[in-house]
Chains A and B, each alone.
Chain A
Amino acid sequence: MLRFILNNEDIGTTLSPGMPLLDFIRYHQHLTGTKAGCNEGDCGACTILIGDLHNGELRYRSFTSCLTPLGNARGKHIVTIEGVSMPSLNPIQQALIDNSATQCGFCTPGFVMSLAGFCLSRQVPKRRRAIAAIDGNICRCTGYKSIEKTASIIANFVKQRNETDPVTFAVEQQILPSWFSGIEERLKKLTLSLNGEPAAAGTPIVGGGTDLYVQKPEDIREQSLRFFFDDPSLKGISRQGNKCIFGASSTATDLLESAVMQEYFPQLENYIKLVSSTPIRNMATIAGNFINASPIGDLTIFFLALDTTLEFNTGRILPLRQLYKGYKQLNKTEEEYVCRCWFELPDKDTLFHFEKVSKRTHLDIASVNTAICIRMQDGYISKARISAGGLNPVPGLLTDTAAFLEGQIPDDALVQQACAIAQKEISPISDARGTADYKRLLLEQLIKAHFITLFPSLPIQV
C-alpha cells in the first residue's frame, strides 16, 4: 500500500507505483486542475508541489507530475491547484488576475503552483528567484510580461515574511488554506507508519524519473521498480577534507543549494540556471544524469572536468571518465548502481568554468556544452581538464587538448592552437541541435569563452 497525503486527504493506494503521478491525480482522483500539456516535463502545465520532511523540517518543491512516479509520493504531501485554492482567491491568484496574466488559462494552474513553490521556499525571496520558480512553465498566449509583473508582486509580498516559517506565513497570509499548518505533524506520523517494500534486486532503478519517463513511459508504468529518489543513504552533499562527497540521488537543486558547492563555485547559480528548469532540477538526480549517458548531459560534463569518482554498491570505484564505453554503453554491470561520488574541491589556484549553448538559452538541451578546470602555477597551466558534450557519442574529456595546454602560459596563440587540437578530438553529427559544422565552430567559441572568462585581460582573437 502506497500512502501519502494529497492536498488535505490521506491516500492509500495499491495502484502501480510506476504510474505517473499526473495520471493518478487527473484520471484516478479526478482533480482536473492539473493539466497535461506535453507529458515530457517541458511545459509545466502539470506542476504540483511535493512536501517532505527534510532534517525534520517540512520542505516543499515543485515537480512536473507527468514525470514523477507515483512511487515517489510515498510518505509525502502532494499539493495540486485544488489544494491551494480557497473560497476566496489567494494573493497569487489575485495578482495573476490583476495583471491580466491569464488568457486561455491552460498554463495558469501550473504558474500558480510554481509561484506557490516560490512562496514556500526557505530561500530569501527575490524577484529573480520568483522568476526562476516559473522558468519551467511555458505560456503560449501572454508573452509573459504580465506574468513577470505578477512574479515581482509576489516576490515583494513574500519579502514581508522576514524570519517567519514559510508555511506559517503562507497560512497567515491566506496563500494557503489553514489545514496546511497540520501537515508537518501528519507527515511525521505517516513516516513512522511507513514500512518500506524493498523491490527485488535487478528491477529497474528510478531516481527522479526525468529521463526514464521521457524515454519509455509505457514500459515502466506497470513495472516493478526500485525507488532511489528518497533513499537517505544516497542523499547529502558534504565536504570531507579537500573532497566534496555527494550521494547519487542528490538533485541539481541540492547542488545549487549546497553550502559547499556555493563556497567553491561562486558562479554556481549561473551554471545551474542553464540546466533544465526549476521543477526538473528538483527531480533530476546526479546519478540519473551520469547513467542515462546522454552525450550532452550537463551535470556529467560539469563533473567530468572535476574528475569525479563514482562508488558503486559493490564497492567498486570508477572514475566518471571511464564510465562510458560507447553510445549509451556503460562500464557497469546490471547489478551495480551508483551510491556516492566525490571530487577534489578546487583550491585557490584552480580555475573552473562551465559553458552551454542551446537553441533556447534556458530549459533546453545543449548543442554543445563544455567545462574546464585548470590549475595555475607561477603563471603556467600545470594541470588542465576540458570536458565537452554534444560532439561525440559519449560525453568525455578532450584529453589531447588538455595535455597540450599543460605547462604552457595562456595567451592568444595557445588558445587558437588548443582550439585546433580540440577539432581533432570530436566527431559531431548533424541533428535537431545543429549541424556538425556549427557544433565544431561552437566548441571553438566556447573554448575561447572559457579563456576569456578565466583570463579577462588576455586579448583573445575570436
Chain B
Amino acid sequence: MKNIDAKTHVSGTSVYLDDIPLIQGTLYGAALGSPVAHGVLHQLQLEEALREPDVIRIFTAADIPGDNQIGGIIKDEPLLASDHVHFCGMPIAFVVARTREAARAAVKKIKADITPLPVITDPREAQAQNQLIMPPRTFSQGDTEQAWRECAHVFAGAVDINGQEHLYIETQGAYVVPQENNSLRVYSSTQGPTAVQRTVSTTLGQPMHRIEVVVTRLGGGFGGKEDQANTWAALCALAAWHLGKPVKYALHRMEDMAMTGKRHPYMADYKIGLDSSLNIIAYEVTFFQNAGAAADLSPGVLSRTLFHCTNSYYIPNVHATAWSCRTHLPPNTAFRGFGGPQGMFVIEAAIAHAARVLQIDAAVIQQKNLIKTGDEFPYGQIAQSEAGACWQKAATLYDATGWKQAVDAFNATHRLQKKGLAFMPVCFGISFTNTMMNHARSLVHVYTDGSVCISTGAVEMGQGVNTKILQVAAQIFSIRADRVKLNPTNTINIANTSPSAASATADLNGKATLMACNAILERLKEVAATALDTKADAVTIVNEQVLVNREPTGWDWQQLVSAAFTKRVSLSEHAHYATPEIHFDTVKEKGHPFAYHVYGTAILEVTVDCLRGIYKMDAVKVVHDFGSSMNPDIDRGQIEGGIVQGIGWMTMEEVIFDKEGRLRSNALSTYKVPDIYAVPEEIVIDALRSTADNLAIFRSKAVGEPPLMYGIGAWFALRNAILQFNPEADIPFITPMTPEKVLMALYSNKEKGIIQQHEATTSHLGIDQ
C-alpha cells in the first residue's frame, strides 16, 4: 500500500504549517538570536526597532507570565535569555509585526548590550573544566582490567565525530490562534505535540487543558522537531496571549540553522583488546558528548550511545563511560539514531585500527565477533540475535568473495582510481530508552455509515506511520482501506503522548489502534452473534462480509455497524498500550530496555578519484531484518532514505563552527546534503525474514532509525580506498570524510615537496554565497 498522503503530496495540496489559511489580523513574529555565544546580557535597546513601520511589540524575558523555562529533562534552558546568553542564536527577543518583512527588519534594529565571556566549543575542554550537563554514566560488563592481560593485541586511539544538521526541508514554525476562555490553539511543526503543550503551559503559567496543539504533518523532522519545536510555539503563544491576536512564525532557513541544535558531535578515546584468534575480549571507551549549551535531550542521547557502544558485537569485558559536556553551541538534540550512530562509529574505528595494524581485513574481526543469541549486551539484556544470519546472507547473496576480487582487480589496474569495500553490521534497540515513555493511545470511531476515523499521538512526517495505522484498522476490521481516515494529531483527542521518535511510533500507536479496533470488533461480533443466533467466536469479518463459521450470512460491514448503532452499542474506543517486558535500572545500569533489536548488514563500495580527492558511492547492498514487513514500499523508502542520510553525515555534511561559536555552515550553500548525483549508484535491499515472535506491530520490525547506520560504512570504505593508493596514509578517525580530508589523506606522508609554509594571508572571504 502506498503512503496515504501521496496524492495530496504530488498535487501540492498537502497542508504544512506555512500553508494553513490565515485568520484576518494575523501577526508575524521573528526572533532575535544572540550574536555572541557566551556573555552577560546587560540590556536590550528596543527603541529603534519599535519605531520601524508595522512593528506591534517586542517581547523579552520580562514579559513571560509563567516560568521562563523550556528544559524538558533538565530545567536548564530559558525561553528568552534574561541575564546571560549561552549560545549564538539563543533567542533574546521576539518581535511581532504586521508583516513578516517588518518583523525581520525590526530584529536587525535591536541592539543587545552583551559583555562577552570565554567560549567553549570543544567537549574535552568543557569536561576538563567540569562543565557537565549531568554526572557521567558508565556501563560495564566483565572486568576489563583483568582482560587486558589476556589480550594478544591492544590498540588505543581517539575519534572525533562531527554533528549533522537535520535539514528537514520544511523549517520549524508555529501558528497560535487565541480561543475563547483564555485558551490557545497551537499549530506546530512538531514531533512532540505534548512537549509543545507542556512548554506553552509552563511559560504562560496556564493549565495544559487550555492549550490545544494541532499537527497535520511535518515536512521532515528526523529528530530535529522532537524537542526544538517548543521554542517557536512558546514564543508565538507568548505574543498571542498578550495581544489576543493570532501570531505566526515560520523560520527562515538561516534562522533555523543558526538557532537550532543538531546531531551531537562526539569525541572519544578507545582501547580495544583482541586475543590471538581475533576475538575482541576487552573494550574501553570514553565518550565526550558535545551537548551544547543546555541539556535538551542530551541525557537520552547519551544513554543510547552507551547502549550501542558495542554495536553488533559481543565483547565479554566492556567499560564504557560517557560525559555530557556543556559547551556554547546551540543545544544539540535528537537526530535519527539518537546517539547510537556515534557509539557505533567508535567501535568500528577501533576494529579498523586493529585490522590495519594486524594487516587483515576488518571484516574478519567484525564477523568473528558478531553477537549470538544468548549473549549478554553490556546493559544486561540477552540478545535474540540475527546478526550472524544477516551477515551470512549478505556475504552469500552479494558474493562478497567475488566482489572483493573484482575490487582488487580494479585497484591493480587503475593508477588514479581506487575502490574500497566495507562491511557495516548494525544492531539497534527498539523502544524509548526511558522506559516510562513507551506507551500510546488511539481513539477509533466507527461512524454509522461504516466509515472509520482514527486519532493517535503519532505525528506523520513522511515515515508513513499513518499509513501503517490505517492498515492496522483495515486489517482488523477487514474493510476497504478507503473507509478509514487518519485525523491530524491533536492533544484534545489524544493526551499525554510521547513524541514520534525512537522508531517506535508505529509499534506503539499501531498496537494501541489494534487494541481499540479489537475492542470494537468484539462488540460488533456480539451484535452479529445475537442477531444471527450464534456465538461471537463463530463470527468473523472477511472482506467486509460477516461470516458465521466461515459461511456468508448476507450481512456486510455496513449492516453490522447499523445494527450495532440501533442496539446502542458503542462504536468508539480509546485504547492504551504500554510496551510489556521492558525495564531498566539506572543505578545498576542493567535491565531489559528494548522490546527487541533490529539487525542488518550492509556492504558498501566506493571509488575514489585519487587525482582530485573526490569520490562516488558505487553500491550499498543490504540484508535487513524486517521481521515481516507490513508495508514493504514504505520500509524500503525508510531504508534508502536512512542510508543516504547516513552517508551524507559521514561524507559531505560538515557542520562548521568557528572558535567563537558562530555557525559558518549556516545555509544550504555552505552545508551540503546529498543531491541526486551523490547517492549510491546502486542500493540493493534484501530482507531477512525473521519469524521469531517480537513486540513489533504485526511482527513488522521498526525501520526508522537503524538503516542510517549502514551509512557509517561509507567512511570506512573511503578509508580502505585511500589505503589502496597510499598504504602509508595518515587517516585520523575524524568525520565527515569530505573531499578535502580524502585528498589530504591521499597525499599525507608522501614526498610532495611543493606545499611549504606560506605566509598567513589577508582576510578576504572565499565564502560569499
CB 8 Å contact bits of A119-140 with B (1 = contact, 0 = none) = 0000000000001001101111
CB 8 Å contact bits of A344-363 with B (1 = contact, 0 = none) = 00000000000101111111
Interface residue? A108 (CB, 8 A): yes
Residues of A with C-beta under 8 A to B9: 102, 105, 108-109
**Nearest Cβ on chain B to A36's Cβ, whole angstroms:** 7
Once the chains are docked, how many angstroms separate the CA of A134 from the CA of B679?
Answer: 14
Contact A393 B755 (CB under 8 A): no
Once the chains are docked, how many angstroms separate the CA of A38 from the CA of B169?
Answer: 8
Contact B668 A42 (CB under 8 A): yes
Q: Which chain B residue lies CB-closest to A423?
A: B754
CB 8 Å contact bits of B81-106 with A (1 = contact, 0 = none) = 00000000000000000000100110
**Nearest Cβ on chain B to A156's Cβ, whole angstroms:** 18
Interface residue? B747 (CB, 8 A): yes
**Nearest Cβ on chain B to A325's Cβ, whole angstroms:** 13
Given contacts A359-B739, A362-B678, A448-B611, whether A103 and B169 have CB atoms under 8 Å apart is: no
Residues of A with C-beta under 8 A to B5: 102, 105
Please pick, from B168, B744, B767, the residue contacting A431 in the complex, using a CB distance under 8 A: B767
Please pick, from B3, B166, B656, the residue contacting A432 in the complex, using a CB distance under 8 A: B656
Once the chains are docked, how many angstroms separate the CA of A449 from the CA of B104?
Answer: 46
Residues of A with C-beta under 8 A to B673: 138, 140
Once the chains are docked, how many angstroms separate the CA of A153 from the CA of B645?
Answer: 25
Residues of B with C-beta under 8 A to A446: 612
Contact B461 A431 (CB under 8 A): no
CB 8 Å contact bits of B725-740 with A (1 = contact, 0 = none) = 0000000000000111
CB 8 Å contact bits of B748-769 with A (1 = contact, 0 = none) = 0000101100110111111111
Once the chains are docked, how many angstroms separate the CA of A439 from the CA of B61?
Answer: 46
Q: Which chain B residue lies CB-closest to A99?
A: B633
Residues of A with C-beta under 8 A to B755: 423, 437, 440-441, 444
Q: Which chain B residue lies CB-closest to A96?
A: B10
CB 8 Å contact bits of B659-689 with A (1 = contact, 0 = none) = 0000011011110111111110001000000
Once the chains are docked, how many angstroms separate the CA of A296 from the CA of B640?
Answer: 34
**Nearest Cβ on chain A to B416's Cβ, whole angstroms:** 7
Given contacts A100-B3, A112-B12, whether A440 and B758 have CB atoms under 8 Å apart is: yes
Once the chains are docked, how many angstroms separate the CA of A214 from the CA of B675?
Answer: 20
Of B461, B464, B766, which is in contact with the most chain A CB atoms at under 10 Å from its CB?
B766
Contact B10 A445 (CB under 8 A): no
Q: Which chain A residue lies CB-closest to B14?
A: A105
Residues of A with C-beta under 8 A to B610: 462
Residues of B with C-beta under 8 A to A98: 2
Contact A104 B764 (CB under 8 A): no
Once the chains are docked, how many angstroms separate the CA of A162 from the CA of B667?
Answer: 42
Given contacts A428-B761, A446-B612, whether A102 and B665 have CB atoms under 8 Å apart is: no
Contact B768 A441 (CB under 8 A): no
Once the chains are docked, how many angstroms separate the CA of A142 from the CA of B16?
Answer: 18
Given contacts A35-B219, A420-B754, whether A144 and B667 have CB atoms under 8 Å apart is: no
Contact B740 A367 (CB under 8 A): yes
Residues of B with C-beta under 8 A to A109: 9-10, 12
Residues of A with C-beta under 8 A to B16: 35, 106
Once the chains are docked, how many angstroms separate the CA of A363 from the CA of B170?
Answer: 20
Interface residue? A34 (CB, 8 A): yes
Interface residue? A172 (CB, 8 A): no
Once the chains are docked, how many angstroms separate the CA of A357 from the CA of B673?
Answer: 16
Contact A295 B764 (CB under 8 A): yes
Interface residue? B652 (CB, 8 A): yes
Interface residue? B217 (CB, 8 A): yes
Residues of B with C-beta under 8 A to A36: 18, 250
Please pick, from A146, A215, A445, the residue contacting B637 in the complex, using a CB distance under 8 A: A146
Contact B6 A96 (CB under 8 A): yes
Which residues of A in the span 425-439 have a Cβ within 8 Å of any Cβ on B? 427-429, 431-438
Contact A81 B167 (CB under 8 A): no
Contact B10 A419 (CB under 8 A): no
Q: Which chain A residue lies CB-closest to B108?
A: A218
Residues of A with C-beta under 8 A to B252: 39
**Nearest Cβ on chain A to B417's Cβ, whole angstroms:** 11
Contact B8 A436 (CB under 8 A): no
**Nearest Cβ on chain B to A420's Cβ, whole angstroms:** 5
Contact B641 A431 (CB under 8 A): no
Residues of B with C-beta under 8 A to A65: none
Once the chains are docked, how many angstroms separate the CA of A420 from the CA of B168?
Answer: 44
Of A108, A146, A442, which is in contact with the most chain B CB atoms at under 10 Å from its CB?
A108
Residues of B with C-beta under 8 A to A215: 768
Please pick, from B10, B642, B678, B766, the residue contacting A108 in the complex, using a CB distance under 8 A: B10
Residues of B with C-beta under 8 A to A438: 740, 743-744
The secondary-structure label for the interface of chain A is loop
Which residues of A in the span 30-49 have a Cβ within 8 Å of any Cβ on B? 30, 32-40, 42-43, 45
Contact B747 A143 (CB under 8 A): no
**Nearest Cβ on chain B to A313's Cβ, whole angstroms:** 26
Contact A103 B3 (CB under 8 A): yes
Q: Which chain A residue lies CB-closest to B2?
A: A97
Contact B758 A427 (CB under 8 A): yes
Contact A106 B12 (CB under 8 A): no
Once the chains are docked, how many angstroms separate the CA of A92 from the CA of B652?
Answer: 30
Contact B169 A45 (CB under 8 A): yes
Q: Which chain B residue lies CB-closest to A459?
A: B415
Residues of B with C-beta under 8 A to A306: none
Contact B676 A93 (CB under 8 A): no
Of B11, B636, B644, B763, which is in contact with the most chain A CB atoms at under 10 Å from its CB?
B11
Q: Which chain A residue lies CB-closest to B668?
A: A42
**Nearest Cβ on chain A to B405's Cβ, whole angstroms:** 26
CB 8 Å contact bits of B444-464 with A (1 = contact, 0 = none) = 000000000000000001111
Q: Which chain A residue lies CB-closest to B637?
A: A100
Once the chains are docked, how many angstroms separate the CA of A108 from the CA of B18?
Answer: 16
Which residues of B in the span 446-494 have a Cβ within 8 Å of any Cβ on A? 461-464
CB 8 Å contact bits of B617-654 with A (1 = contact, 0 = none) = 00000000000000001101100111111000000101
Given contacts A97-B2, A100-B3, A106-B220, whether A147 and B676 have CB atoms under 8 Å apart is: yes
Interface residue? A317 (CB, 8 A): no
Residues of B with C-beta under 8 A to A431: 664, 765-767
**Nearest Cβ on chain A to B333's Cβ, whole angstroms:** 16
Once the chains are docked, how many angstroms separate the CA of A139 from the CA of B250?
Answer: 20
Contact B644 A143 (CB under 8 A): yes
Once the chains are docked, how many angstroms separate the CA of A153 from the CA of B5?
Answer: 22
Which residues of A in the span 301-332 have a Cβ within 8 Å of any Cβ on B? 327-328
Please pick, from A40, A106, A393, the residue contacting B668 in the complex, using a CB distance under 8 A: A40
Contact A103 B641 (CB under 8 A): yes
**Nearest Cβ on chain A to B677's Cβ, whole angstroms:** 5
Of B101, B610, B672, B683, which is in contact with the most chain A CB atoms at under 10 Å from its CB?
B672
Contact B675 A104 (CB under 8 A): no
Interface residue? B218 (CB, 8 A): yes
Contact A85 B611 (CB under 8 A): no
Interface residue? A406 (CB, 8 A): no
CB 8 Å contact bits of A1-43 with B (1 = contact, 0 = none) = 0000000000000000000000000100010111111111011
Given contacts A141-B220, A357-B739, A442-B613, whether A97 and B7 have CB atoms under 8 Å apart is: yes
Can you give 25 contacting A-B residue pairs, CB < 8 Å? A38-B253, A40-B669, A81-B12, A97-B7, A98-B2, A100-B2, A102-B3, A102-B5, A104-B219, A131-B676, A135-B676, A140-B220, A141-B462, A142-B640, A143-B683, A145-B683, A358-B739, A360-B672, A427-B762, A432-B665, A433-B766, A441-B752, A449-B612, A452-B416, A452-B611
The 10 closest A-B CB pairs, nearest first, are A33-B12, A104-B462, A106-B219, A105-B9, A103-B462, A81-B12, A143-B644, A42-B668, A143-B640, A93-B10
Residues of B within 8 A of A (CB): 2-3, 5-16, 18-19, 21, 101, 104-105, 166-171, 217-220, 222, 250, 252-253, 416, 461-464, 610-614, 633-634, 636-637, 640-645, 652, 654, 656, 664-665, 667-670, 672-679, 683, 738-740, 743-744, 747, 752, 754-755, 758-759, 761-769
Q: A104-B219, A438-B740 are in contact. List 6 more A-B contacts (CB 8 A).
A: A103-B464, A105-B10, A140-B641, A295-B764, A327-B764, A440-B755
